[in-house]
């Protein structure tokens, strides 16, 4: 039998594919990374979408989980030019009347700004912020016996709750709305179990390292990961869209940064009947409608805190946000959608020509929707920043089908790689001893359709690669370091 050309092949160069490739290459294997597009990065791409000189992040924009990732923290990415900029306000949440709740790096300052809810906020977040170095490797991992069970139990008691229930700890609209905006990153109705989890993780990340953005665009994270992989000896081919496993060169292990829909297309004939059945039952969540703007001045938010924030959550009260998310999940298009907005150019002057600015925003819509939500999104911005429309000099939009065309992993516009509800949180994409193994020996899934799910943290790829190293190569890499 001829020797395989490579020890391992990784298909897809999103953050998880890159993480998997790096872990395998670090172990001394020969690794080939294949990417269907000419550009590397998956959701980590930046381009001039509106006007020349205006650089927009196509998908991910602000990166609290990248900064908090236990794996990315072990890599020398700064050596390859990656520079994070941390806005003074991680996230702001404006309300009608010109006020806003804000989250800053200091937990004490954030809590004090919430007035009557200062004590409740401290009691909820302080233990998580303190224990995050112990929690992170357990939270950002598949279901397992935690290494720090007491810390994990404390987190779980709150994280498993619906966001609407946990928010009842707060008295005032400011804290309740702020938490609702955080939890809405789960992209599901806030009445669902576990929706509190993402809100707690994002707030904890804000109080640990802030919510940074990469100078020059999200592409810089991908470029640094690629550079490190190549420096380790890895090989890359772009413009190679894999439609069948038969296209791949011989390898002992294949890791796919794809979701179940693509896995069935690539390898359905090689998978067991029961595993195919499980993959077909996998559920995708709401999609997104996204707008990028070129602006001739910063967004004129009424609240000062919003003008200092990298991220602004537009949706008003908890009740309004919950109603909008519930409606979108039920197939409707709310007239006042919850809008996630980033204004990178306020802090990064490489994003636009001198004196000009960019802004990035999206709202949740039914999976597969082609309805244009531009007007609804811009009304929400104008609601909290009168005069915003007058500053628009260029605009680019993506509906859900266009998002999927850009990245096939965004099935129906679902940027999380599948619904992150209780039934798919730890067992995605199927209930198995290891969620990364497929039913075919040597074939692994390393995308956000595996635990811990969506977000730029690389942990899905990290865990999948470690599983392949154990199963195929009988290697056991050192565990992630514990942050001091």
420 vs 29: CA distance, rounded Å: 33
Give residue-wise pLDDT tens across range 356-368: 999 999 999 999 9
Same domain, 257 and 120: no
Residue 478 lies in a domain: no
For the chain, what is the mean pLDDT? Answer: 95
What are the backbone dihedrals phi and psi of residue 422, each rounded to the nearest 5 degrees, phi first?
-60, -40
Q: pTM for the full model? A: 0.95
Same domain, 460 and 363: no
In the predicted structure, residue 449 carries a pLDDT above the cut 50: yes
CATH label of the domain that carries residue 251: 3.50.50.60
CATH label of the domain that carries residue 354: 3.90.660
How many Cβ atoms are within 10 Å of 83's Cβ, its own excluded? 13
Same domain, 207 and 326: yes
Residue 1 lies in a domain: no
By DSSP bridging, strand 443-445 and strand 339-342 are unpaired
- Can you give the three-state secondary structure of the chain, one letter per residue? CCCCCEEEEEECCCHHHHHHHHHHHHCCCCEEEECCCCCCCCCCCEECCCCCCCCEECCCCCCHHHHHCCCHHHCCHHHHCCCEECCCEEEEEECCCCCEEEECCCHHHHHHHCHHHHHHHHHHHHHHHHHHHHHHHHHCCCCCCCCCHHHHHHHHHHHCCCHHHHHHHCCCHHHHHHHHHHHHHHCCCCCCCCHHHHHHHHHHHHHHHCCCEECCCCHHHHHHHHHHHHHCCCEEECCCCCCCHHHCCCEEEEEECCCHHHHHHHHHHHCCHHHHHHHHCCCCCCEEEEEEEEECCCCCCCCHHHHCEEEEEECCCHHHHHHHHHHHHCCCCCCCCCEEEECHHHCCCCCCCCCCEEEEEEEEECCCCCCCCHHHHHHHHHHHCCCCHHHEEEEEEECHHHHHHHCCCCHHHCCCCCCCCHHHHCCCCCCCCCCCECCCCCEEECCCCCCCCCCCCCHHHHHHHHHHHHHCCCCCCCCCCCCC
Same domain, 297 and 391: yes
What mean pLDDT do residues 93-112 have? 98
Same domain, 136 and 223: no
Q: What percent of the chain clears pLDDT 90, i.e. is strictly above it?
A: 90
By DSSP bridging, strand 339-342 and strand 309-314 are antiparallel
Same domain, 341 and 393: yes
Closest CA to 292 of 46, 114, 84, 81: 46
185 vs 380: CA distance, rounded Å: 17
Number of domains present in the structure of the chain:
2
Residue 480 lies in a domain: no
Same domain, 102 and 238: no
123 vs 200: CA distance, rounded Å: 12
Residue 484 pLDDT class (50, 70, 90 cuts)? very low
Query: Token pair for residue 406?
Result: 């850009």
What mean pLDDT do residues 411-418 have? 96
Residue 482 pLDDT class (50, 70, 90 cuts)? very low
Determine contact, residues 423/410, Cβ cutoff 8 Å.
no
Same domain, 297 and 387: yes
Closest CA to 127 of 158, 101, 102: 158
Tell me, what's the pLDDT at 315? 97
Same domain, 117 and 192: yes
Tell me, what's the pLDDT at 3? 60
Same domain, 165 and 36: no
Give residue-wise pLDDT tens across range 266-277: 998 899 999 999
Same domain, 200 and 332: yes
Domain boundary among 386, 406, 426: 406
Residue 476 lies in a domain: no
Query: Token pair for residue 212?
Result: 């940074």
In the predicted structure, residue 411 carries a pLDDT above the cut 70: yes
In the predicted structure, residue 118 carries a pLDDT above the cut 90: yes
Domain that holds residue 363: 84-211+285-406
Residue 157 lies in a domain: yes
């Amino acid at each position: 039998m001829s020797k395989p050309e490579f020890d391992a092949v990784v298909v897809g160069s999103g953050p998880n594919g890159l993480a998997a490739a790096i872990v395998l290459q670090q172990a001394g294997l020969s690794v080939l990374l294949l990417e269907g597009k000419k550009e590397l990065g998956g959701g980590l791409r930046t381009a001039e979408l509106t006007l020349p000189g205006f650089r927009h992040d196509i998908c991910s924009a602000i990166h609290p989980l990248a900064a908090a990732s236990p794996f990315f923290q072990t890599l020398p990415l700064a050596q390859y030019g990656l520079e994070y900029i941390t806005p003074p306000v991680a996230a702001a949440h404006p309300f009608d009347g010109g006020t806003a709740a804000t989250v800053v790096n200091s937990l004490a300052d954030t809590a004090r700004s919430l007035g009557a809810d200062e004590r409740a906020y401290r009691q909820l977040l302080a233990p998580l912020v303190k224990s995050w170095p112990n929690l992170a490797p357990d939270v950002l991992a598949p279901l397992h016996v935690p290494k720090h069970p007491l810390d994990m139990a404390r987190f779980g008691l709150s994280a498993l709750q619906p966001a609407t229930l946990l928010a009842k700890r707060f008295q005032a609209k400011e804290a309740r709305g702020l938490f609702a905006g955080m939890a809405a990153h789960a992209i599901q109705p806030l009445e669902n179990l576990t929706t509190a989890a993402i809100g707690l993780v994002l707030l904890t990340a804000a109080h640990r390292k802030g919510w940074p953005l990469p100078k020059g665009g999200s592409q810089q994270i991908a470029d640094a990961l690629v550079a490190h992989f190549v420096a380790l000896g890895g090989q890359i081919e772009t413009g190679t869209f894999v439609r069948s496993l038969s296209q791949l060169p011989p390898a002992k292990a294949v890791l796919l940064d794809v979701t179940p829909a693509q896995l069935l297309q690539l390898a359905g004939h090689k998978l067991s009947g029961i595993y195919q059945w499980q993959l077909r039952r996998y559920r995708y969540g709401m999609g997104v409608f996204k707008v990028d703007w070129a602006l001739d001045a910063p967004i004129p938010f009424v609240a000062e805190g919003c003008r200092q924030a990298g991220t602004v959550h537009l949706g008003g009260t908890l009740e309004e946000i919950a109603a909008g998310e519930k409606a979108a999940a039920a197939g409707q298009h709310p007239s006042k959608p919850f809008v996630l907005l980033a204004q990178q150019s306020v802090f990064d002057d490489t994003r636009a020509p001198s004196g000009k600015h960019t802004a990035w925003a999206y709202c949740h819509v039914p999976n597969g929707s082609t309805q244009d939500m531009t007007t609804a999104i811009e009304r929400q911005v104008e609601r909290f920043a009168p005069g915003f429309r007058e500053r628009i000099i260029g605009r680019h939009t993506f509906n859900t089908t266009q998002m999927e065309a850009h990245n096939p992993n965004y099935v129906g516009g679902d940027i999380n790689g599948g619904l992150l509800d209780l039934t798919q949180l730890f067992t995605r994409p199927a209930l198995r001893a290891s969620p990364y193994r497929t039913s075919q020996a040597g074939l692994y899934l390393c995308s956000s359709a595996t635990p811990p799910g969506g977000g730029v943290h690389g942990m899905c790829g990290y865990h999948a690669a470690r599983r392949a190293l154990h199963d195929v190569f009988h290697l056991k890499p050192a565990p992630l370091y514990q942050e001091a």
